[in-house]
Amino acid sequence: MAKIGFIGLGIMGKPMAKNLIKAGHELVVFNRSQGPVDDLVAAGAKAGRSAADVAAQVDIVVTMLPNSPDVKAVVTGPGGVLDGAKAGLIVIDMSSIAPGAAIEVSKACADKGVIMLDAPVSGGEPKAIDGTLAIMVGGPEAVFEQIKPILLNMGASAVHVGEIGAGNITKLANQVIVGVNIAAMSEALTLATKAGADPAKVVDAISGGLAGSAVLNAKAPLILAGNFKPGFRIELHIKDLMNALETGADVSSPLPLSATVLEMMKALAADGHQSDDHGGLIQHYEAEADVEVRC
Protein backbone atom coordinates (compact mmCIF):
# COMPACT_ATOMS: atom_id res chain seq x y z
CA MET A 1 0.00 0.00 0.00
CA ALA A 2 1.10 3.55 -0.70
CA LYS A 3 2.36 6.06 1.83
CA ILE A 4 0.18 9.11 1.20
CA GLY A 5 0.17 12.66 2.51
CA PHE A 6 -3.25 14.29 2.90
CA ILE A 7 -3.56 18.05 3.37
CA GLY A 8 -6.97 19.64 4.00
CA LEU A 9 -9.28 17.78 6.39
CA GLY A 10 -12.51 19.73 6.01
CA ILE A 11 -16.04 18.53 5.37
CA MET A 12 -14.84 16.54 2.33
CA GLY A 13 -11.18 15.87 3.03
CA LYS A 14 -11.63 14.26 6.44
CA PRO A 15 -13.90 11.40 5.30
CA MET A 16 -11.84 10.95 2.13
CA ALA A 17 -8.69 10.55 4.22
CA LYS A 18 -10.47 8.10 6.51
CA ASN A 19 -11.39 5.96 3.51
CA LEU A 20 -7.72 5.81 2.49
CA ILE A 21 -6.85 4.56 5.98
CA LYS A 22 -9.64 1.98 5.80
CA ALA A 23 -8.18 0.79 2.49
CA GLY A 24 -4.88 0.10 4.23
CA HIS A 25 -2.78 3.10 3.16
CA GLU A 26 -0.31 4.74 5.53
CA LEU A 27 -1.29 8.41 5.89
CA VAL A 28 0.56 11.52 7.04
CA VAL A 29 -1.91 14.39 7.49
CA PHE A 30 -1.88 18.14 7.97
CA ASN A 31 -4.62 20.74 8.44
CA ARG A 32 -4.85 24.35 9.57
CA SER A 33 -6.97 23.41 12.59
CA GLN A 34 -5.83 20.62 14.90
CA GLY A 35 -9.15 18.91 15.65
CA PRO A 36 -9.46 16.96 12.37
CA VAL A 37 -5.77 16.00 12.58
CA ASP A 38 -6.38 14.48 16.04
CA ASP A 39 -9.38 12.56 14.66
CA LEU A 40 -7.28 11.13 11.83
CA VAL A 41 -4.42 10.25 14.17
CA ALA A 42 -6.94 8.36 16.31
CA ALA A 43 -7.96 6.49 13.14
CA GLY A 44 -4.37 5.48 12.41
CA ALA A 45 -2.73 8.41 10.60
CA LYS A 46 0.47 10.22 11.51
CA ALA A 47 0.44 14.00 12.03
CA GLY A 48 2.69 16.18 9.89
CA ARG A 49 4.09 19.46 11.20
CA SER A 50 3.55 21.36 7.93
CA ALA A 51 2.75 20.78 4.27
CA ALA A 52 6.50 20.58 3.59
CA ASP A 53 6.96 18.03 6.38
CA VAL A 54 4.15 15.89 4.93
CA ALA A 55 5.66 16.01 1.43
CA ALA A 56 9.10 15.00 2.72
CA GLN A 57 7.69 11.74 4.13
CA VAL A 58 5.58 10.41 1.26
CA ASP A 59 5.50 9.56 -2.44
CA ILE A 60 2.02 10.96 -3.08
CA VAL A 61 0.36 14.08 -1.64
CA VAL A 62 -3.40 14.63 -1.86
CA THR A 63 -4.70 18.17 -1.30
CA MET A 64 -8.35 18.99 -0.63
CA LEU A 65 -8.63 22.75 -0.10
CA PRO A 66 -11.29 25.47 -0.48
CA ASN A 67 -10.10 27.47 -3.50
CA SER A 68 -7.27 28.47 -5.85
CA PRO A 69 -5.35 30.76 -3.43
CA ASP A 70 -5.32 28.01 -0.80
CA VAL A 71 -3.89 25.47 -3.24
CA LYS A 72 -1.23 27.92 -4.40
CA ALA A 73 -0.24 28.71 -0.80
CA VAL A 74 -0.15 25.09 0.34
CA VAL A 75 1.73 23.76 -2.68
CA THR A 76 3.99 26.64 -3.75
CA GLY A 77 4.11 28.96 -0.74
CA PRO A 78 6.65 29.09 2.13
CA GLY A 79 6.58 25.83 4.05
CA GLY A 80 4.48 24.34 1.27
CA VAL A 81 4.57 20.97 -0.45
CA LEU A 82 7.34 21.96 -2.87
CA ASP A 83 9.61 22.98 0.00
CA GLY A 84 9.63 19.38 1.21
CA ALA A 85 9.17 17.53 -2.07
CA LYS A 86 11.68 15.27 -3.71
CA ALA A 87 11.74 14.75 -7.48
CA GLY A 88 9.12 12.25 -8.58
CA LEU A 89 6.55 13.20 -5.93
CA ILE A 90 2.99 13.04 -7.24
CA VAL A 91 0.57 15.78 -6.15
CA ILE A 92 -3.13 14.99 -6.59
CA ASP A 93 -5.09 18.20 -6.05
CA MET A 94 -8.70 17.18 -5.41
CA SER A 95 -9.84 20.74 -4.67
CA SER A 96 -12.28 22.51 -6.97
CA ILE A 97 -10.32 25.48 -8.32
CA ALA A 98 -9.99 27.58 -11.46
CA PRO A 99 -8.49 25.55 -14.34
CA GLY A 100 -5.90 28.27 -14.94
CA ALA A 101 -4.76 28.03 -11.33
CA ALA A 102 -4.31 24.26 -11.68
CA ILE A 103 -2.11 24.83 -14.74
CA GLU A 104 -0.09 27.51 -12.91
CA VAL A 105 0.54 25.30 -9.87
CA SER A 106 1.38 22.36 -12.15
CA LYS A 107 4.11 24.41 -13.86
CA ALA A 108 5.64 25.30 -10.49
CA CYS A 109 5.56 21.60 -9.59
CA ALA A 110 7.23 20.61 -12.85
CA ASP A 111 10.09 23.03 -12.13
CA LYS A 112 10.84 20.94 -9.01
CA GLY A 113 10.43 17.58 -10.76
CA VAL A 114 7.02 17.05 -9.17
CA ILE A 115 4.08 15.67 -11.15
CA MET A 116 0.61 17.13 -10.57
CA LEU A 117 -2.88 15.99 -11.47
CA ASP A 118 -6.05 17.98 -10.89
CA ALA A 119 -8.76 15.62 -9.67
CA PRO A 120 -11.82 17.44 -8.32
CA VAL A 121 -14.77 15.44 -7.06
CA SER A 122 -18.55 15.47 -7.17
CA GLY A 123 -20.97 13.99 -4.66
CA GLY A 124 -20.72 16.14 -1.55
CA GLU A 125 -20.21 14.98 2.02
CA PRO A 126 -22.49 11.90 1.86
CA LYS A 127 -20.52 10.36 -1.01
CA ALA A 128 -17.22 11.43 0.53
CA ILE A 129 -18.21 9.47 3.64
CA ASP A 130 -19.29 6.32 1.82
CA GLY A 131 -16.46 6.47 -0.72
CA THR A 132 -18.62 6.82 -3.84
CA LEU A 133 -17.45 10.17 -5.18
CA ALA A 134 -17.20 10.84 -8.92
CA ILE A 135 -13.62 11.90 -9.64
CA MET A 136 -12.60 13.75 -12.83
CA VAL A 137 -8.88 13.87 -13.53
CA GLY A 138 -6.57 15.99 -15.66
CA GLY A 139 -2.88 15.34 -16.14
CA PRO A 140 -0.53 12.70 -17.57
CA GLU A 141 -2.58 9.62 -18.41
CA ALA A 142 0.15 7.16 -17.40
CA VAL A 143 0.31 8.75 -13.93
CA PHE A 144 -3.50 8.64 -13.72
CA GLU A 145 -3.44 4.89 -14.41
CA GLN A 146 -0.77 4.49 -11.72
CA ILE A 147 -2.80 6.25 -9.01
CA LYS A 148 -6.30 5.25 -10.16
CA PRO A 149 -6.60 2.44 -7.57
CA ILE A 150 -5.96 5.03 -4.84
CA LEU A 151 -8.65 7.31 -6.26
CA LEU A 152 -11.08 4.40 -6.29
CA ASN A 153 -10.59 4.02 -2.54
CA MET A 154 -12.37 7.38 -2.31
CA GLY A 155 -14.73 7.25 -5.27
CA ALA A 156 -17.04 5.00 -7.25
CA SER A 157 -15.57 6.32 -10.50
CA ALA A 158 -12.36 8.02 -11.63
CA VAL A 159 -12.23 9.22 -15.24
CA HIS A 160 -9.25 10.72 -17.07
CA VAL A 161 -10.60 13.72 -18.99
CA GLY A 162 -7.48 15.29 -20.50
CA GLU A 163 -4.39 17.33 -19.68
CA ILE A 164 -3.83 19.30 -16.49
CA GLY A 165 -6.75 21.70 -15.92
CA ALA A 166 -9.25 19.46 -17.68
CA GLY A 167 -10.33 17.97 -14.36
CA ASN A 168 -11.42 21.37 -13.11
CA ILE A 169 -13.04 22.29 -16.43
CA THR A 170 -15.11 19.14 -16.08
CA LYS A 171 -15.94 20.01 -12.46
CA LEU A 172 -17.10 23.48 -13.51
CA ALA A 173 -19.40 21.89 -16.10
CA ASN A 174 -20.71 19.62 -13.35
CA GLN A 175 -21.36 22.55 -11.02
CA VAL A 176 -23.17 24.50 -13.73
CA ILE A 177 -25.49 21.55 -14.33
CA VAL A 178 -26.06 20.94 -10.61
CA GLY A 179 -26.67 24.62 -9.80
CA VAL A 180 -29.11 25.18 -12.63
CA ASN A 181 -30.83 21.87 -11.79
CA ILE A 182 -31.32 22.93 -8.17
CA ALA A 183 -32.73 26.26 -9.32
CA ALA A 184 -35.13 24.58 -11.75
CA MET A 185 -36.31 22.13 -9.08
CA SER A 186 -36.75 24.96 -6.57
CA GLU A 187 -38.71 27.04 -9.07
CA ALA A 188 -40.95 24.10 -9.98
CA LEU A 189 -41.69 22.99 -6.41
CA THR A 190 -42.39 26.55 -5.31
CA LEU A 191 -44.84 26.92 -8.20
CA ALA A 192 -46.53 23.61 -7.34
CA THR A 193 -46.87 24.51 -3.65
CA LYS A 194 -48.10 28.04 -4.32
CA ALA A 195 -50.70 26.67 -6.74
CA GLY A 196 -52.04 24.25 -4.13
CA ALA A 197 -50.40 20.93 -5.02
CA ASP A 198 -48.70 18.65 -2.50
CA PRO A 199 -44.95 19.04 -3.26
CA ALA A 200 -44.14 15.53 -2.01
CA LYS A 201 -46.65 14.02 -4.41
CA VAL A 202 -45.35 16.22 -7.21
CA VAL A 203 -41.83 14.88 -6.61
CA ASP A 204 -43.20 11.34 -6.55
CA ALA A 205 -45.05 11.84 -9.82
CA ILE A 206 -42.22 13.42 -11.81
CA SER A 207 -39.19 11.54 -10.50
CA GLY A 208 -39.73 8.59 -12.84
CA GLY A 209 -40.06 10.75 -15.95
CA LEU A 210 -37.80 13.04 -17.93
CA ALA A 211 -37.70 15.56 -15.05
CA GLY A 212 -36.18 12.95 -12.78
CA SER A 213 -32.54 13.50 -11.86
CA ALA A 214 -29.90 12.76 -9.26
CA VAL A 215 -30.44 16.31 -7.99
CA LEU A 216 -34.18 15.72 -7.53
CA ASN A 217 -33.56 12.41 -5.76
CA ALA A 218 -30.90 13.80 -3.44
CA LYS A 219 -32.20 17.29 -2.68
CA ALA A 220 -36.01 17.16 -2.82
CA PRO A 221 -36.38 14.99 0.34
CA LEU A 222 -34.13 17.39 2.26
CA ILE A 223 -36.05 20.42 1.03
CA LEU A 224 -39.40 18.85 1.95
CA ALA A 225 -38.02 18.17 5.44
CA GLY A 226 -36.59 21.70 5.74
CA ASN A 227 -33.14 20.19 6.24
CA PHE A 228 -30.43 22.50 4.91
CA LYS A 229 -27.55 20.99 6.87
CA PRO A 230 -24.62 21.30 4.48
CA GLY A 231 -23.57 18.44 2.27
CA PHE A 232 -22.18 21.10 -0.06
CA ARG A 233 -22.34 24.68 1.19
CA ILE A 234 -23.85 27.56 -0.78
CA GLU A 235 -20.64 29.56 -0.30
CA LEU A 236 -18.66 26.81 -2.04
CA HIS A 237 -21.11 26.65 -4.93
CA ILE A 238 -20.77 30.42 -5.25
CA LYS A 239 -17.00 29.94 -5.55
CA ASP A 240 -17.44 27.30 -8.24
CA LEU A 241 -19.88 29.38 -10.27
CA MET A 242 -17.58 32.40 -10.04
CA ASN A 243 -14.76 30.22 -11.38
CA ALA A 244 -17.08 29.02 -14.14
CA LEU A 245 -18.00 32.58 -15.13
CA GLU A 246 -14.33 33.60 -15.10
CA THR A 247 -13.43 30.65 -17.31
CA GLY A 248 -16.40 31.34 -19.58
CA ALA A 249 -15.24 34.93 -20.03
CA ASP A 250 -11.72 33.72 -20.82
CA VAL A 251 -12.94 31.42 -23.61
CA SER A 252 -15.94 33.55 -24.75
CA SER A 253 -18.56 31.00 -23.69
CA PRO A 254 -21.84 32.54 -22.40
CA LEU A 255 -23.22 31.37 -19.04
CA PRO A 256 -26.46 33.33 -18.50
CA LEU A 257 -28.22 30.66 -16.42
CA SER A 258 -25.18 30.21 -14.20
CA ALA A 259 -24.98 33.98 -13.71
CA THR A 260 -28.62 34.07 -12.56
CA VAL A 261 -28.17 31.19 -10.12
CA LEU A 262 -25.00 32.82 -8.79
CA GLU A 263 -26.86 36.03 -7.99
CA MET A 264 -29.57 34.11 -6.12
CA MET A 265 -26.95 32.25 -4.10
CA LYS A 266 -25.09 35.49 -3.35
CA ALA A 267 -28.34 37.03 -2.08
CA LEU A 268 -28.91 34.07 0.24
CA ALA A 269 -25.33 34.27 1.48
CA ALA A 270 -25.80 37.97 2.22
CA ASP A 271 -28.83 37.00 4.34
CA GLY A 272 -26.73 34.59 6.41
CA HIS A 273 -27.38 31.35 4.54
CA GLN A 274 -23.84 30.90 3.19
CA SER A 275 -23.32 27.71 5.21
CA ASP A 276 -26.62 26.12 4.18
CA ASP A 277 -26.59 23.23 1.74
CA HIS A 278 -26.91 24.38 -1.88
CA GLY A 279 -30.37 22.77 -1.89
CA GLY A 280 -31.24 25.69 0.39
CA LEU A 281 -31.41 27.78 -2.78
CA ILE A 282 -35.16 27.10 -2.63
CA GLN A 283 -35.33 29.62 0.22
CA HIS A 284 -34.78 32.36 -2.36
CA TYR A 285 -37.93 31.24 -4.22
CA GLU A 286 -39.88 30.71 -1.00
CA ALA A 287 -39.16 34.28 0.09
CA GLU A 288 -40.20 35.66 -3.31
CA ALA A 289 -43.43 33.61 -3.38
CA ASP A 290 -44.18 33.92 0.35
CA VAL A 291 -44.65 30.18 0.72
CA GLU A 292 -42.80 27.29 2.37
CA VAL A 293 -42.24 24.08 0.41
CA ARG A 294 -42.56 21.42 3.08
CA CYS A 295 -44.48 18.23 3.80
pLDDT in tens, 150-200: 999 999 999 999 999 999 999 999 999 999 999 999 999 999 999 999 999
Give the domain ranges of the chain.
3-163, 169-289
Q: How far apart are CA 209 and CA 285, in angstroms?
A: 24
Instruction: Dump pLDDT digits (tens) for 104-137.
Output: 999 999 999 999 999 999 998 999 999 999 999 9
Distance set, CA 285 to CA 175, 186, 247, 271 (Å)? 20, 7, 28, 14
CA-nearest of 107, 104, 114, 169 to 136 is 169
**Catalytically annotated residues:** 171
Tell me which CATH code domain 169-289 carries: 1.10.1040.10
Find the mean pLDDT for residues 251-255: 98
Write down the CATH superfamily of domain 3-163. Answer: NAD(P)-binding Rossmann-like Domain (3.40.50.720)
Residue 231: per-residue pLDDT: 86
Supply the Cα-derived Rg of the chain in whole angstroms: 20
Residue 135: phi, psi to the nearest 5? -120, 130
